Amino acid sequence: MSILNVVILGPARRLATAAQDSILPHGGGQAGTVISRSAKLVSVMMLLLLPAWTGAQPAPRCRGPLSEALLTELVKGSVPAPVIRGNLAKCGIAFEPTGDAIGRLRSAGVPETVLDAVRAATGPAERKRQAEQARWEFIKDSRDQQVFEQFLREYPASQYAAAARLKVAALTPAAPAPAPVAPVIPPAAIAAGTRRVNQKDGLTYVWIPPGRFQMGCSPGDAECFDNEKPAHEVTITKGFWLGQTPVTQQAYRRVTGQDPSHFKGANLPVETVNWDEAKAYCTAAGGRLPTEAEWEYAARAGSTGARYGNLGEIAWYNENSGNTTHEVGQKLANAFGLYDMLGNVWQWVADWYGDYPSGAQSDPSGPGSGQYRALRGGSWDVFARSSRVSARNWYEPGLRVNSSGSGASGNDFPFVLFPFPFSI
């Protein structure tokens, strides 16, 4: 047998040997020489095919992520590096690829090509994140409250936990109303300023009766911006309950389990809340955001002036706030008994921001679409000119601007939602 046959192993050797045995003649001579050369050619071909044969060996089955110990054993057991890299890509690792872990593996003789595969492999934290994300994408449109409760039990610190809590709150069936112990008072008979407590967020709400008012630039107000014009008559045909104060951090945390505010305090107004989160909170608490017309009607409380009182007595703004928000309800209320309708924090309303229509309106709800949502009321860091009941502001609904002023376009104000008409 040629020496080339000897170095071929396994199937290649058997095939080469069989090929040689089948073509070698029993006699010598020229024919035997030609056939012998052919056999050697087959042997060389088998040798060239050897790398492909050995490279095609199937990798061991993936029975779970690889530990440091198992990875070291594979290397010391002379398992080829490509096979180990294939296992890492398929199975992942059971440890985080920290600098210390990489150092231990390098000291154990793991080659750099395998270490690169370790760095690229999926570790426990990434597997958990992927599972969490996949689970949320699967359930996020569910109408089953228990699905979101189970998600919170499994992933209590998830990036989707706040959204899951809002889903739970929104999908929790309302408790059946107890049988009335006294005749129900029709809405028309409820006195303006009547107060009730909403059991979902613990805040006090005030009854705002239906009525008619002039919306927009107040008569004799020389500080009006163009977007406050034209002034026009608006009729509010239905009464509603409105929060006596801006939503506090304590109330927001009670409903959502979160508090995104920059300034911290249980009775401080919640801020750094975008429009979508404001809407979600209101839904979870049992109502909705007020329209821009409802907000201004409630803020004026029958007043026709630019403000419902002396500014320093009714509002926290840039000249008296000390560059911070303040606990709600510290300034004087308006005639409906509502506090902080001006100053302290901007207040989201339901409308898309747009130009006012001309002519009288009944229960207007703003444009049908737009790019920005409207805010009203001013805040702790605005000038007196923006602290008027007709002053308007706007911002993109999905964005936040925190109290330190970081954000787009140099805007420097916190946001707060202001809840909603609702029945209690």
Same domain? For 248 and 302 the reply is: yes
- 73-99 confidence digits (pLDDT tens): 888 888 899 998 888 888 889 899 999
Say if 288 falls within a structural domain: yes
The answer to whether 248 and 267 are in contact (CB under 8 A) is yes
The answer to whether 17 and 7 are in contact (CB under 8 A) is no
pLDDT of residue 49: 36
Using CA atoms, how far residue 75 sits from 26, 51, 106, in Å, is 49, 20, 11
Residue 25: pLDDT over 80: no
Say if 155 falls within a structural domain: yes
- How many domains, the chain? 4
- 212-247 confidence digits (pLDDT tens): 999 999 999 999 999 999 999 999 999 999 999 999
Same domain? For 48 and 145 the reply is: no
Same domain? For 396 and 250 the reply is: yes
The DSSP result for 70-128, as a single string, is HHHHHHHTT--HHHHHHHHHHH-BSS---HHHHHHHHHTT--HHHHHHHHHS--HHHHH
The answer to whether 118 and 146 are in contact (CB under 8 A) is no
pLDDT of residue 132: 87
Instruction: Give the count of beta carbons closer than 10 Å to the beta carbon of residue 47.
Output: 16
Range of the domain at 108: 68-122
- Provide the pairing of β-strand 392-395 with 373-376: antiparallel
Domain end point (choices 82, 107, 122): 122
Residues paired with 236 in a beta bridge: 211
The encoded tokens of residue 214 equal 């002039």
Instruction: Report the SS3 class of residue 373.
Output: strand
Same domain? For 134 and 217 the reply is: no
Report the distance separating Cα 171 and Cα 14, nearest Å. 71
pLDDT of residue 186: 57
Rounded mean pLDDT, 102-127:
89
Same domain? For 136 and 17 the reply is: no
Same domain? For 12 and 148 the reply is: no
- Report residue 401's pLDDT band, with 50, 70 and 90 as the boundaries: low
Report the distance separating Cα 309 and Cα 387, nearest Å. 11
When computed from its CA atoms, the radius of gyration of the chain, rounded to whole angstroms, is 37
Say if 130 falls within a structural domain: yes
Say if 284 falls within a structural domain: yes
Same domain? For 398 and 362 the reply is: yes
Residue 351: pLDDT over 90: yes
Say if 150 falls within a structural domain: yes
Same domain? For 139 and 20 the reply is: no
CATH value at residue 310: 3.90.1580.10
Same domain? For 341 and 391 the reply is: yes
Same domain? For 42 and 142 the reply is: no
pLDDT of residue 232: 96
Say if 314 falls within a structural domain: yes
pLDDT of residue 112: 92
Report the distance separating Cα 50 and Cα 43, nearest Å. 11
Same domain? For 254 and 389 the reply is: yes
